[in-house]
Structure 1
């Protein structure tokens, strides 16, 4: 497969929202420090001070949201923030370990039931795109990723057990098994019988029941049919094991939620501790038509040139304004790794890995909602809301300081041990853009922790150096 021929050197990396965009000005460093603090601070401090880093080094580790045209925070700049203390005090939040619930389960895509009528759901998961990438991805490992997703989530939610739930009992089957009788055509031009109208439901058979799943035909799209996300979430609730803290269902089919939706990639019912993620729209075959920026996917989404292009002509006049990443920072290390890989020819394995990495990022995001974590407004973060598949590709896989506090509190793991677990996973997938870049980002972050002398037992302690007022 030919090389992508990189056209951008990503010379400058912006770590603050673009100045041409004024609808979402960002959250102040003082407010971000207060949001991550486990207690009320006696005095105002900067987030970099709380983390024990110089301002420029902290900004190049945890940049602010991009805030590009059409991004979620630009569309809805008043979205309410959720601080660590607000999350911790939420009474409706599901506590890890309550009633013995500690395990995260992952269940793979349901399959069509043996013996189903000929042609049932045939071709529904096939992406109608041709080209060099299509030929390459057919011969690559694109199935059986469930175990790899489990391994990723074991690192991301380090400290909690993550298990693969046996999906052999999940089968798609016709909802109405009564054969339809053909009707005679009233048209004079045809004596052939018309095909019976397709039902609006298919069945999803579990070990206990048969659940109706709505679907719709979309012959003009890249997938011929879509399944209803809400119905699949209800099905996930019905198979939730007694010891499950949360359950993630992976599906191959394209999804919709409301009649007005074009598609949706995933959703969580956080209070019910279930999430569903579809891999359909993350297929790299759709990148060109969906406008997904491979060259400027995270971390290169912080490229000043790219951000200016996204913000329009007026933005180019403001290219010198703002804060930019310093050399040897975690963000710069990540971009260097990304650029190096992008410059080489993409193999079929890398193409499949690109697909897999996108599923992993969304899986960790949706499960975050099961932990009671809301969308992030403070930093560029895995828990940011996303208004499009394009914005999705521009967001990072890591957790910001505010949401990292929440996950550490929930799982009981240490900061450093979690980072090391994730670095180990990334090393196994170092031929994939996102994992290669994230591995280098983690290395840079671990060096910061080491240089700060916070050592092996680094926990939410960066705030121990700041005067605090204990909450009641």
Structure 2
């Protein structure tokens, strides 16, 4: 186990920059906003902690990367930035979500609303759901886990044709496992940053996925026929639990962050950290560190306090009185709720 602690001056430089114009723009934050952003520079901060590498199988030892400070992010000529004509994130569901149409629609709406709070200032819209067959993508049975998988690259080609003209980006989400090419076992997701597209699977966020009793494991060997999508009719999708919703929200916002040009975070514990496996993904916090927060704020232009308020509202909002609406399972979000409240206290100049 290794704790990665950067010197305070290195963190300060990563946050503020060494360019005079970016230092001046940092000075435009309010005193309270700067206090929050600089909270992560302090050793022993109760809000922002250093990254802990638990084993060689974790992301950082397996994928050596250079850290991206704010200046590197801001200066990247290829990063995508929302503009007046492209300020909408579109979500395209592929295949079934949950047991029954009601829970499927509700779950996807929870994801949409969370994403809109996270990327506060942008609109997030749902496209009409599509079946696996309508994508025309290749599929297979995984030889190790014996579950069905969809070809991620071909799903991206499908999404490219579906991308609305006013989209900042389009992301496809599915409860069916993915693979990028025949030689790979699986992939959580795949994206084309230059095209503003991504596709992600939540299948492996089911607690039972790696168990022999997993209901999505095919009971007997079947010979698949290309183009015969009948195998997906009634195919298992995991129940919508609070943990699954929490993991899905983290993955969705992480991957969209990459479309903004935010690279994997190596500074502090952050939702933009890379992860190699579910255990490591679960250790990631649901929100960004101060350095990545400045990246998103500069790209979107939100007020930091308004964004935290929107995320808190998403967690705390009372369930609808309508019988058609299910109660949002936010048990897994309660630590995040307390964390958001502490951040708001700093922005409101309170002591916690």
> Same fold judged by TM-score > 0.5?
yes
Could you list the runs of 5+ residues in structure 1 that have no partner in the other structure?
A: 1-17, 112-124, 126-136, 174-202, 205-211, 291-349, 454-472
Change (3 A) 1:54 1:430: farther
Q: 2:138 aligned to 204, 214, 231, which one?
A: 214
**Which stretches of structure 1, 4 residues or longer, exceed 4 Å deviation after superposition?**
47-50, 137-142, 287-290
Q: Distance in 1 between matches of 2:176 and 2:40?
A: 45
- Given the two structures, how large is their TM-score scaled by the length of structure 1? 0.58
1:437 maps to what in 2?
335
Q: In angstroms, what is the RMSD of aligned CA positions?
A: 3.1
Change (3 A) 1:156 1:353: same
Equivalent positions of 1:17-36 (< 5 A) are 18=1, 21=2, 25-36=4-15
Q: Distance in 2 between matches of 1:415 and 1:36?
A: 15
- Given the two structures, how large is their TM-score scaled by the length of structure 2? 0.77
Deviation at 1:352, TM superposition (A): 1.6
Change (3 A) 1:25 1:356: closer
Equivalent positions of 1:291-370 (< 5 A) are 352-370=241-259
Deviation at 1:214, TM superposition (A): 2.2
> Per-residue displacement from partner, 1:160-201 (whole Å, max 9, x unpaired)?
11111123xx3433xxxxxxxxxxxxxxxxxxxxxxxxxxxx
1:75 maps to what in 2?
62
Equivalent positions of 1:215-234 (< 5 A) are 215-218=139-142, 220-221=144-145, 223=147, 225-234=148-157
Q: 1:376 aligned to 257, 265, 271, which one?
A: 265
Counterpart check, 1:172 vs 2:95: no
CA contact (8 A) 2:5 2:51 kept: yes
Deviation at 1:276, TM superposition (A): 0.9
Deviation at 1:148, TM superposition (A): 1.2
> Per-residue displacement from partner, 1:353-388 (whole Å, max 9, x unpaired)?
211111111000110111111111001111111111
Deviation at 1:154, TM superposition (A): 0.8
Deviation at 1:242, TM superposition (A): 0.4
Structure scoring higher RCO (CA < 8 A, sep ≥ 6) equals 1
Q: Distance in 1 between matches of 2:308 and 2:247?
A: 19
Higher Rg: 1
Q: Could you say what secondary structure the match of 1:397 adopts?
A: coil
CA contact (8 A) 1:107 1:146 kept: no
| Alignment length (residue pairs) | 304
Deviation at 1:38, TM superposition (A): 4.9
2:168 maps to what in 1?
245
Could you list the runs of 5+ residues in structure 2 that have no partner in the other structure?
A: 24-33, 214-238, 318-326
1:133 maps to what in 2?
none
